[in-house]
Amino acid sequence: MDLKTDIEIANSVKPRPIQEVAAEFGVAHDDLELYGKYKAKLPLSTDFCVADSRAKLVLVTAINPTPAGEGKTTTTVGLTDALNQLGYKTVAALREPSLGPVFGVKGGAAGGGWAQVIPMEDINLHFTGDFHAVGAANNLLVALLDNHIKQGNELEIDATRITLKRSVDMNDRQLRHITSGISHGASGTINGVVREDGFEITVVSEVMAIFCLATSLADLKERLGDIVVAYNRQGQPVTARDLKAHGAMTVLLKDAIAPNLVQTLEGTPVIIHGGPFANIAHGCNSVIATKKALELTKNGGFVVTEAGFGADLGAEKFIDIKCRKSGIKPSVVVIVATIRALKHHGGVQKDAYNQKNLAALESGLENLWQHVDNIQNVFGLNAMVALNKFWADSDVEVEFVRKECSSRNVPFELSAVWEDGSAGGLELAKTVVEVANQPSELKYAYKLYEPIEEKLYAIAKKIYKADSFSLTPGAKKQLDALEAQGFGELPICMAKTQYSFSDDPKKLGAPKNFELQIRELKVSAGAGFIVALTGSVITMPGLAKAPAANNIDIDESGNITGLF
């Protein structure tokens, strides 16, 4: 098929001036901080209460991701446009893309086809500079930490127990483990305290997590002060507040904390703000952005948001962390799947995705059913399935999925928003409205007062369907220390492969008879959760053999090619 690329489609549409987009939702020109013609910062709301909003929140999530792609953002954008076409005042609330995936393998995160957010080049590249501000704040804290040790170490920090890493918004495996502070040159200049060090990608830093969970500038400052940067020689935590760093860090973030307003190809408003990964962080856009969207649509409209990767990661953390802390509640959860991805979970290799295979499709549906079961029965929420249409999907396969959903009383709609924009999502939007108006009662996978070990077990058993879970000796020691230090009642942020319900990326579908192993536990006290690392998950991705950056270029007129 002769198809336009995403960037070609995006460049074929003339955006509306962002002031017009904002004015339709009651935001005055003087309240906008403009970043050119098509981007703006929205004012922070200081007195907004979620309970005052009659808007309904739609959470878009997916089955476990595959090389075939599922299209959460594309579905989110197209659904937002379609709801507006039906007459509902609707705003999308999304995460900002990280430069790492943009130049790595995954590509951009502004949707695709005729369901995109624009200006897509700006959004996928530096946007309004929020990520750079987050990285600068993180690295200022590390610099102050190392300087404190060099300048006498009044806090008696144990240099072998520093928990904070430097950050950069790029996939760079070379920086995962380094030695810093080494003297250099014939003069033997002292560059600092020699210690083992490392980098993680900016989006998994605790500063990013705090940025996305803070509710105001004052709350941001308090949370930054709570960051545990190291332990002293007596084994007690040392915080950013102890280093007197949180004030200066907040200064670096004072502009970034305001949410960003852009638009879809059809001129529908989209708020994009924050961007933590869902496999190694909590994977949701900022609380401030979501609440701002609910404020703009409070007279009976809709807010469509998404959580990263599969529902076992992004949606679980959206509910157990973000909803719990912010007071928001989805009225409906849309689980996105594709025929191709379902067949992948049924054992089909990439070169056979376009071949009809009902046996593999039926087997792969087990992955979808487990996600549906979790949303409905663990979390008590309304769930429905959106099948994202691809050109090679056969009618027989689509009808097979439709009938299987019907036999389980799971609402189902086909989405063609990639190809047709809002027109391809009208039936999906109608079903979303219908399901969103059904009653539901939000539940959580665990209680905060439960011991850390019981919360870990609850996620492993209820969400992943593991037979058991175990802690390495190091993780057990860390667990005991965290509870002794008063962190035992924090929620859990599980760091796990996105490709499987298990901690083994090769176990597709709905694996059974497996053990989940927790290899490390660490506190993100400012963000307000405990990170549990499983399997071989890492916090600094690497580049592929042929990274996407190799295909990205610009001509002498400034036209960018290769973004997707």
Residue 181: pLDDT band with limits 50, 70, 90: confident
Residue ranges, CATH 3.10.410.10, the chain: 452-534
153 vs 148: CA distance, rounded Å:
5
418 catalytically annotated: yes
- Region(s) of the chain under CATH 3.40.50.300: 6-129+256-436
Give which of 545, 374, 534, 414 is closest to 469, Cα–Cα: 534
The answer to whether 106 is a known catalytic residue is yes
Q: Per-residue pLDDT averaged across 281-295, rounded?
A: 93
Please identify which of the residues 61, 74, 268, 297 carries the catalytic annotation. Answer: 74
Q: Is 234 helix (H, G, I), strand (E, B) or coil?
A: coil
| Average pLDDT estimate for 228-243 | 96
What ranges in 271-313 are assigned the alpha helix state H? 287-296
- Whether omega for the bond prior to residue 119 falls within 30 degrees of 0, making it cis, is yes
Residues 488-521 have pLDDT tens digits of 999 999 999 999 999 999 999 999 999 999 999 9
Would residue 309 show up in a list of annotated catalytic residues for this protein? yes
Asked if pLDDT for residue 53 goes beyond 80, the answer is: no
Please name every residue paired with 414 in a beta bridge, in sequence order, or none if there are none.
387
Top CATH class of 452-534 equals alpha beta
Quote the percentage of the chain above a pLDDT of 90: 78
Catalytic residue among 309, 487, 514, 529: 309
Catalytic residue, chosen from 39, 41, 56, 72, is 72
Catalytic residue among 127, 211, 390, 501: 390
Output the 3-class SS for 324-337.
HHHCCCEEEEEEEE
Q: What is the pLDDT of residue 149?
A: 95
Nearest alpha carbon to residue 374 among 98, 61, 122, 66: 61
C-alpha 82/C-alpha 84 separation (Å) is 5
According to the model, what pLDDT value does residue 384 have? 98
Evaluate if residue 187 carries a pLDDT over 70. Answer: no
Q: Cα separations (Å) of 88 from 79, 400, 486?
A: 11, 32, 46
CA atoms of 270 and 73, how far apart (whole Å): 12
Average pLDDT over residues 336-360: 93
pLDDT grade for 51, boundaries at 50, 70 and 90: low
Out of 41, 106, 292, 389, pick the active-site residue.
Answer: 106
Could you give the CA distance from residue 124 to residue 275 in angstroms, rounded to a whole number?
Answer: 12
Q: In what order do the strands lie in the sheet with 237-239?
A: 157-162, 228-232, 237-239
Using DSSP, state whether 102 is helix, strand or coil. helix
Residue linked to tokens 């074929």: 12
Degrees (nearest 5) of the Cα angle 12, 59, 500? 95
pLDDT at 1 over 50: no
Higher per-residue confidence, 253 vs 2: 253
Mean pLDDT for the chain overall: 93
Residues of the chain with CATH 3.30.1510.10: 132-250
* Residue 56 CB partners (closer than 8 Å, separation 6+): 301, 302, 303, 331, 332, 436, 437
Average pLDDT of span 159-167: 94
DSSP 269: E
Percentage above 70 pLDDT, the chain: 97
Residue 191's pLDDT is: 76
Q: Residue 268 in contact with residue 80, Cβ under 8 Å?
A: yes
Going by their DSSP bridges, the two strands 260-264 and 40-41 should be labelled as antiparallel
Q: Which helix (H) or strand (E) holds 477?
A: helix 473-484
Round to whole Å and give the CA distance between 120 and 195: 41
> What 3-state class would DSSP assign to 235?
coil
CATH 3.30.1510.10 fits 132-250, yes or no: yes
CATH superfamily for domain 6-129+256-436: P-loop containing nucleotide triphosphate hydrolases (3.40.50.300)
Structure confidence at residue 47 as a pLDDT band (50, 70, 90)? low
- pLDDT bin (cut points 50, 70, 90) of residue 330 is very high
Place of tokens 């590509």: 107
Catalytic pick among 22, 68, 92, 278: 278
278 tagged catalytic? yes
Distance in angstroms (rounded) separating the CA atoms of residues 511 and 345: 10
- The DSSP call for residue 314 is I
Rounded to whole angstroms, the Cα distance separating 7 from 15 reads: 14
Tens of pLDDT, residues 198-215 = 999 999 999 999 999 999
Name the catalytic one among 114, 199, 318, 418.
418
Tell me, what DSSP letter sits at residue 313? I
DSSP run (H or E) holding 207: helix 206-213
Q: pLDDT class for 105, splitting at 50, 70, 90?
A: confident
Which pLDDT belongs to residue 304? Answer: 98
Q: What is the predicted pLDDT for the residue at 78?
A: 97
